[in-house]
Chains A and B, each alone.
Chain A
């Protein structure tokens, strides 16, 4: 009996050993490997981003998040990019574009030979045509409420400028693309490619997914269609709809797709690996020779939401480059970490106090009096100075100091009258009146709460009765423009490049003109501005508008938000950028320190 049991046990043991050896790792008895993929010729770096990547097409309304745009920027190339002084830099090795005529405005884009996608297909004018078709909404004939007609391509940008064009011409070799505008468009330079300037959606892939042979077939299909007209709706073109649907959602993914055509690169890097909601890895595109060669072999992107976590990751060597949300504490902590360089600068967003042109503030003298009580210097000192010792109150309604015309505009726009708080003059203007002013702001934004506290304390000194009209983060936006308050504190984002944003805020009756500012002379200047294609003339007009706005006692800009970037001593070449590209704007210059 006992013997039998033992032999059984031996048998089981033998079977177990067999099973074990079967499930051992393949490839022999290598001892634990010590070599990582780092320490090669170019080195690697880890960049931290706040949001997680989710689509390879960052042009759609849903896909247009900061991280998607940045990855798109790192893996694609185009006719230009925007540098950190907010100037457009042309990429002559990629191609060339020029304005060939002013009336009608005609722009000709020419691609160089040898520029190709990472699957070997050349980049052609058809790719530009797809970009144009998507960002112009040219074929859409959907009614404004979206219930009737067809909306083809989803776009995050403003389609108005590109919509006023004829169907473009493409040369027979597919290398030149000519666009003729039916209406002059001030921002024509950045019309194709947006802030990044990239040509980032391969037309041949979209065409194939729609069942067409190649990019040219897609172009021919579009050529055969008429411009969409919401007042005369046509049945949807099935093939184009299929292509558009793929364009809108087909590139969405959080993990690396097995279909490599979904993430084709035509820029310095290609995507190598993705871990959903954790990280992403880019490696150098070996074919890329139509632009500067990137220094780093590999860039890893990790997603970390909170600023303290980002700082500690940098401190612990898990990250090399971070750009956390700035606060004085964040900056102090970063400066205290040995071996970390901190880049500080402005962001393009700025906070401002707007006064309603109706209600108790309808009288210009009352508005002026209120503006005179706003302690702008004090607000900057207390809220911004700890982050940026050189901070000054923002003095222009149109420009930010990072833009060259700012200094010049500030001299003449009338902001000089509001440099100092002048309670006596405010009392004079009020002439004994004590208007009740309800100030609306976002209670969940500490900067605005603090600004409100300081403004309210000072305005009371001049005789204003201040009512706290602050609302929570989900309510204040809805209340904008609806009345129920007399003054509001909130932020705008200056686009940095382009002028289309100006009339949006300041023109009579426009969507973001919440305080009902109306000035016929300014309106006329703005109408002129959006049709001016010459940059120096644009600046001229903008300066005049700035002056008119200050002259009408519109309200006061308060301060520009502060941005901060930090990088460890393992990398070099990181430079501050105020716009939404952030650190990424010159990623090809990043290098690993040996």
Chain B
């Protein structure tokens, strides 16, 4: 593989990962856009110019604040009067007390479940848990993916072979299977070890860590791809000649140049993580009752869809909102980090004629594949989460085996 990609490095022009470095030389518009700005500033500017991403960010921040302030987190108390596991007398059969005219929230704005727990409290707790799982998955998968990818991409040789074959093995196992088995293991409480003790009180954290152990593979492949091209660049040689250690080169010189891929992919992993958590709870291997998560709430209440719709709609609404906002943030980040993506207007482009926008020469779709064909493949698949993540199990009758004949 190594031979092949080195040869291809020659056939294809070098990739443009750092927008700032590539842009000034090429064209007219981008120069105006990015003149005198650092990479971070460019990205920030582009990101905040993306209205979808901005709205997504605001919505997500609001949900985050609402969820964590209302129910409290850890030692911090929340302002909402009920806890998610507190049983209160049923008010009006659990129908939401929220009214528009006259406007009032009432005692249970989102309603209550059948034994009288407050649904607003449960939804907020669920949103907390879902967000926590999502962030932990993002961090764990991000760290493992970056480390594995950069080691493999930088050192090549047997390190690469071992790490990438390991990645291959994990990547062909269906995500849902691995996740189901992992969370099944994370849910185990019967052995009296320190781990079981820890898991009993921090089930969500353990679930997040275990799922993070599964979802890092796509990122590792992408990071490796970036490293393969960046390590051949002059600034790396310069650093090496001036005596920088491998560690320093990897984390100080190369990684900052690959940060766009990491951030964008990390966001997408997170948005698929929240759906994965939903699917796992649907399968009964996610977060366990009496604790709760958004996925667990909608799967517990899916039969109430027609009869007590509020039990289903509120948590469902929050899942959709979180997922949508994360997806838009990811979309905005991708546009912001990707120098090749800019406003394109067919009309303008036509009239512009020979002017046109400047793009670093090698920023063709073939830039990554030119390194290794497999890399493109994974970069493509990793971006949008597998639809499998929606997978779930039937609510089958528990007693398939029954009467004797």
Contact = CB atoms under 8 A, between A and B. Distances in A.
- A and B in direct contact, judged by CB atoms within 8 A: yes
Contacts, number: 132
Interface stretch (B51-59, B185-193, B341-349, B364-372): B185-193
Interface of B: 85, 87, 90, 114-116, 184, 187-190, 192, 284-285, 288-290, 300, 302-308, 394-397, 399-405
Interface stretch (A234-242, A264-272, A472-480): A472-480
Contacts of A383: 114-115
Interface in A304-345: 305-308, 325, 327-330, 332-333, 336
A196 B403 contact: yes
23 contacts: A50-B400, A59-B404, A64-B404, A68-B405, A69-B404, A194-B403, A195-B405, A198-B405, A305-B395, A306-B395, A306-B396, A308-B302, A328-B114, A450-B115, A453-B87, A470-B288, A472-B184, A472-B189, A474-B184, A484-B190, A484-B192, A580-B402, A580-B403
Contacts of A330: 303
A449 interface: yes
Nearest to B192: A484
A38 interface: no
A554 to B, nearest CB: 24
A333 B306 contact: yes
A478 B190 contact: yes
Contacts of B116: 382
Interface in A462-476: 468, 470-475
Contacts of A531: none
B118 to A, nearest CB: 13
Contacts of A200: 405
A443 B288 CA distance: 6
A61 to B, nearest CB: 9
A479 B190 contact: yes
A360 to B, nearest CB: 18
B306 A493 contact: no
A466 to B, nearest CB: 12
Main secondary structure of the interface of B (DSSP, over half): loop
A91 interface: no
Interface string A70-92: 00110000000000000000000
A50 B300 contact: no
**Top 6 nearest A-B pairs by Cβ distance?**
A580-B403, A305-B394, A580-B402, A66-B402, A194-B404, A157-B404
Contacts of B303: 307-308, 327, 329-330, 333
B188 A194 contact: no
B282 to A, nearest CB: 11
A510 B359 CA distance: 79
Contacts of A382: 90, 114-116
A66 B400 contact: yes
B188 A50 contact: no
A581 B405 CA distance: 10
B195 to A, nearest CB: 14
A444 B288 contact: yes
Contact of A308 (B115, B305, B403): B305
A51 interface: yes
A73 B85 CA distance: 46
Contacts of B87: 453-454, 457
A446 interface: yes
B288 to A, nearest CB: 5
B289 A449 contact: yes
A584 B116 CA distance: 37
Contacts of B284: 444, 472-473
A66 B405 CA distance: 9
A51 to B, nearest CB: 5
B405 A446 contact: no
**Which of A59, A64, A329, A581 has the most chain B CB atoms inside 10 A of its CB?**
A329
B279 to A, nearest CB: 15
A85 B284 CA distance: 36
Nearest to A50: B397
Nearest to A59: B405
Given A66-B400, A69-B405, A332 B188 contact: no
Contacts of A193: 405
A193 B403 CA distance: 11
Contacts of A156: 401, 404-405
Contacts of A493: 399
B280 to A, nearest CB: 12
A446 B403 contact: no
A51 B300 contact: no
A329 B307 CA distance: 6
Contact of B405 (A72, A305, A449, A478): A72
Given A308-B302, A328-B114, A69 B187 contact: no
Interface in A32-73: 50-51, 58-59, 64-66, 68-69, 72-73
B399 to A, nearest CB: 7
B243 to A, nearest CB: 55
A382 B290 CA distance: 16
